[in-house]
């Protein structure tokens, strides 16, 4: 695996580590040079660009418990990379599944899906350029989200 591939893969995994740790500001910082598309080709209100907007989106959506975490584990797999070192850009796709356990909710998978990511190397450091999130299967999200995704 090349240095670029390792750096990009670690960035993908860092997202999961930060969100599961309840560090929504850290998640926002991952996108300080990029944006999240909550819906592919969605309206402007589903695009969150930059640190503050991404952090704000997660603060509005994700339930944080007394221990400072959402009590989740994001499992990211099947990472496939397409890196253009000359252009300092890259693309990746990956699968995710999210498990959660709370005092009221037994351990279970609450959602599965996949990501389509783009990256740029800025001043020698790989950064997220964009992430589009796709939900493939939905379980009980009532203990994870502050909103009803079906509404």
Residue ranges of the alpha helices (H) in 21-121? 24-30, 50-61
Give the tens place of pLDDT for each residue, 10-30: 999 999 999 999 999 999 999
Average pLDDT, integer, range 91-113: 98
Return d(Cα 96, Cα 100) in angstroms, integer.
13
SS3 of 68, please? coil
- Phi and psi angles of residue 66, each rounded to the nearest 5 degrees, phi first: -55, -25
Question: Are 117 and 96 within 8 A, CB to CB?
Answer: no
CB burial of 36-66 (b: ≥16 within 10 Å; e: otherwise) equals bbbeeeeeeeebbbbbeebbebbeebbbeee
| Higher-scoring residue by pLDDT: 92, 148 | 92
Question: Are 56 and 48 within 8 A, CB to CB?
Answer: yes
- Look up the pTM and report it: 0.93
- Where along the chain do its domains lie? 3-138
Supply the pLDDT for residue 151.
Answer: 58
Question: Are 140 and 110 within 8 A, CB to CB?
Answer: yes
Give the tens place of pLDDT for each residue, 126-138: 999 999 999 999 9
Q: Which CATH number fits domain 3-138: 2.60.120.10, 3.40.800.20, 3.10.450.50, 3.30.420.40?
A: 3.10.450.50
């Amino acid at each position: 695996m090349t240095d670029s591939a390792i750096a990009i893969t670690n960035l993908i995994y860092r997202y999961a580590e930060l969100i599961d740790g309840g560090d929504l500001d850290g998640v926002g910082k991952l996108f300080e040079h990029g944006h999240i598309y909550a819906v592919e080709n969605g309206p402007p209100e589903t695009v969150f660009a930059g640190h503050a907007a991404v952090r704000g989106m997660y603060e509005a959506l994700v339930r944080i418990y007394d221990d400072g975490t959402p009590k989740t584990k994001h499992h990211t797999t099947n990472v496939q990379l397409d890196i253009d070192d000359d252009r300092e850009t890259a693309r990746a796709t990956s699968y995710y599944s999210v498990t959660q356990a709370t005092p009221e909710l037994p351990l279970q998978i609450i959602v599965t899906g996949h990501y389509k990511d783009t990256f740029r190397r800025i001043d020698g450091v790989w950064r997220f350029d964009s992430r589009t999130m796709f939900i493939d299967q939905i379980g009980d999200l009532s203990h994870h989200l502050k909103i009803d995704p079906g509404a």
